[in-house]
């Protein structure tokens, strides 16, 4: 029955939320949703999902040649998907609505050194409307760094929410064998949020995304849900091809479990069911006011304990404060300055790498948020 997974007293609220989805225009983040579907986690924490296999990330630079490194990039990428897209279902029973970050919100974390070097994460909310999150992940010792930004355009089909991700990421690799530095442009897949009418949303990936290397190699990943390739949800097929478009290697399987090289009976490529390493974050009591878990501490507590009045009150306080800041800026004729990232209108890596793709990307330009190296050691916004 529709609404079967919705708590009795929130059924009406869920029905009107679904109705309001029909008139939504692209940005779902600021819509009011019933409490049972709220997550206590802000979207600024999500970039950490890129690195819950810090070993895969570090090992990219140890590949012996460009093909082996591309295969390792693909392995790391596929290995991030279950964290990115199924974690909330595993931990909270269904996909949830994350907290909508404020402009300037920060999130820092590390994956401690266990012989492969420390990996650091820096995240900043660089736009509130529309929401855009910029991130930087680096393992200096391993010679790998990822820089990207992410936004979403949402639309409602009547039963599912389609999410088109905007933004891209660029991975830079300094090969351990001394070969030339490589760049990899990563485009982002589309999402479909299913299970809405039941009140138990979950994500299925659709269409395709690509990884384009400066060496000329391309990986294209195709996603299908139940009933297409394998009859299983969360299926994918990937192909690595060379600069002339000739396929070099195929992979297939599910991104929530096992995938194989060549075909479904080939050697094991990846098993994503193993343990993931969550990011390590400073205790809230040591965080500054702009750091996500500190900023939202009372809202998160309210959501976790079912005290929605408390959650709502503090959310209002935060939002009012933001509105006041914007007003003050307008009055003083100033604009908010990003702490860790500078905005560039056209990302030269994107322009160069996207032109190497066989299915060229449109538009050929995209903006980007570039890390300010001098701020890498700044933790917390002063004042
Ligand atoms: C953000 C970037 C991450 C991958 C990712 C995973 C889940 C996505 C999220 C992104 C964006 C916001 C998102 C979320 C799932 C649900 C949520 C689309 C793309 C929307 C805003 C909330 C929908 C509300 C329903 C659950 C009712 O790398």
3-state secondary structure 237-299: EEEEECCCCCEEEEEEEECCCEEEECCCCCCEEEECCCCCCCCECCCHHHCCCCEHHHHCHHH
Nearest CA among 139, 163, 140, 138 for reference residue 21: 163
pLDDT at 342 over 60: yes
CA of 50 to the centre of ligand 1 (A): 15
Helix 308-332 to helix 297-305 angle, to the nearest 10 degrees? 160
pLDDT at 3 over 90: no
Using alpha carbons only, what angle is made at residue 260 by residues 256 and 264, rounded to the nearest 5 degrees? 100
Using pLDDT thresholds of 50, 70 and 90, give the confidence band for residue 383: very low
CA of 12 to the centre of ligand 1 (A): 23
| Residue 148 and residue 135 in contact, taking contact as beta carbons nearer than 8 Å | yes
Q: How far is CA 218 from each of CA 59, 65, 246, 353, rounded to the nearest angstrom?
A: 19, 15, 10, 10
Ligand 1 atom 18, closest CA: 163
What is the three-class DSSP state of 55?
helix
- How far is the C-alpha of 363 from the C-alpha of 229, rounded, in Å? 31
- The CA R_g of the chain, rounded to the nearest whole Å, is 21
Q: How far is CA 85 from each of CA 81, 234, 240, rounded to the nearest angstrom?
A: 6, 10, 23
pTM exceeds cut of 0.90: yes
Using pLDDT thresholds of 50, 70 and 90, give the confidence band for residue 25: confident
| Ligand 1 in reach of 84 Cβ (< 6 A) | yes
Tokens of 275: 């343990």
Best of 191, 223, 279 for a ligand 1 pocket test (most atoms within 8 Å of beta carbon): 191
| Ligand 1 in reach of 34 Cβ (< 6 A) | no
| Residue 258 and residue 270 in contact, taking contact as beta carbons nearer than 8 Å | yes
The count of other CB atoms within 10 Å of the CB of residue 314 is 18
| Ligand 1 in reach of 201 Cβ (< 6 A) | yes
pLDDT at 381 over 70: no
| Ligand 1 in reach of 165 Cβ (< 6 A) | yes
Best of 50, 79, 193, 199 for a ligand 1 pocket test (most atoms within 8 Å of beta carbon): 193
What are the backbone dihedrals phi and psi of residue 57, each rounded to the nearest 5 degrees, phi first?
-65, -50
Report the percentage of the chain scoring pLDDT > 70.
98
Q: Which secondary-structure segment (H or E) carries 313? A: helix 308-332
Tokens of 253: 């399987």
Mean pLDDT confidence for 135-144: 97
Using pLDDT thresholds of 50, 70 and 90, give the confidence band for residue 264: confident
- How far is the C-alpha of 85 from the C-alpha of 313, rounded, in Å? 30
| Residue 56 and residue 269 in contact, taking contact as beta carbons nearer than 8 Å | no
- How far is the C-alpha of 223 from the C-alpha of 254, rounded, in Å? 9
Q: Which atom of ligand 1 is nearest to the CA of 154?
A: 18
| Ligand 1 in reach of 37 Cβ (< 6 A) | yes
Residue with tokens 């929401």: 131
| Ligand 1 in reach of 160 Cβ (< 6 A) | no
Q: Within its chain, how far is the Cα of 319 from the centroid?
A: 24
Length of the chain counted residue by residue: 383
Q: State pLDDT tens for residues 185-242.
A: 999 999 999 999 999 999 999 999 999 999 999 999 999 887 666 678 999 999 999 9
Q: State pLDDT tens for residues 68-79.
A: 999 999 999 999
Ligand 1 atom 7, closest CA: 85
Q: Strand locations in 94-130, DSSP E?
A: 97-99, 106-111, 119-128
Residues 6+ apart with CB under 8 A from 363: none
Q: How far is CA 358 from each of CA 71, 224, 250, 362, rounded to the nearest angstrom?
A: 19, 21, 17, 12
Higher pLDDT, 5 or 226: 5
User: To the nearest whole number, what is the mean pLDDT of the chain?
Assistant: 94
Using pLDDT thresholds of 50, 70 and 90, give the confidence band for residue 379: low
Residue with tokens 């909270």: 92
Q: How many helices (H) and strands (E) does the chain have?
A: 7, 19
- How far is the C-alpha of 239 from the C-alpha of 250, rounded, in Å? 4
- Phi-psi category of residue 280: left, alpha or beta, with phi > 0 → left and psi -120 to 50 → alpha: beta
What are the backbone dihedrals phi and psi of residue 281, each rounded to the nearest 5 degrees, phi first?
-125, 145
**Residue 185 pLDDT:** 98
The answer to which of 25-39, 104-118, 155-169, 308-322 has the lowest mean pLDDT is 25-39
| Ligand 1 in reach of 163 Cβ (< 6 A) | yes
């Amino acid at each position: 029955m529709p609404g079967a997974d919705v708590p009795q007293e929130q059924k009406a609220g869920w029905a009107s939320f679904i109705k309001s989805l029909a008139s939504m225009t692209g940005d779902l983040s600021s819509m009011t949703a019933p409490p049972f579907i709220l997550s206590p986690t802000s979207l600024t924490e999500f970039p950490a999902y890129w690195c819950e296999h810090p070993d895969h990330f570090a090992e990219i630079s140890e590949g012996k040649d460009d093909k082996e490194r591309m295969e390792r990039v693909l392995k790391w990428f596929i290995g991030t998907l279950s964290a990115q897209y199924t974690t909330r279902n595993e931990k909270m029973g269904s996909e949830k609505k994350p907290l909508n970050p404020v402009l300037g919100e920060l999130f820092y974390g590390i994956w401690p050194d266990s012989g492969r070097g420390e990996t650091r994460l820096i995240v900043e909310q660089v736009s509130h409307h529309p929401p855009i999150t910029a991130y930087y992940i680096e393992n200096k010792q391993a010679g790998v760094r990822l820089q990207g930004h992410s936004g979403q355009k949402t639309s409602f089909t009547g039963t599912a929410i389609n999410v088109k991700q905007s933004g891209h990421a660029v991975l830079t690799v300094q090969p351990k064998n001394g070969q030339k530095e490589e760049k990899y442009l990563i485009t982002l897949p589309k999402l479909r949020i299913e299970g809405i009418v039941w009140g138990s949303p979950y994500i299925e990936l659709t269409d395709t995304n690509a990884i384009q290397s400066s060496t000329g190699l391309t990986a294209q990943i195709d996603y299908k849900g139940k009933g297409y390739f394998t009859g299983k949800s969360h299926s994918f097929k990937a192909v690595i091809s060379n600069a002339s478009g000739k396929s070099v290697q195929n992979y297939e399987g599910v991104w929530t479990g096992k995938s194989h090289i060549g075909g479904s009976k080939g050697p094991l490529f990846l098993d994503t069911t193993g343990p993931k390493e969550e990011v390590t974050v400073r205790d809230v009591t040591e965080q500054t006011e702009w750091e996500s878990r500190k900023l939202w501490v009372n809202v998160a507590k309210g959501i976790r304990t079912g005290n929605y009045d408390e959650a709502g009150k503090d959310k209002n306080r935060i939002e009012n404060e933001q509105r006041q800041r914007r007003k003050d800026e307008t009055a003083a004729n100033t604009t908010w300055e990003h702490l860790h990232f500078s905005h560039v209108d056209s990302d030269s890596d994107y322009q160069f790498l996207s032109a190497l793709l066989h299915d060229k990307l449109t538009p050929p330009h995209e903006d980007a948020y570039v890390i300010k190296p001098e701020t890498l050691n700044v933790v917390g916004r002063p004042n």
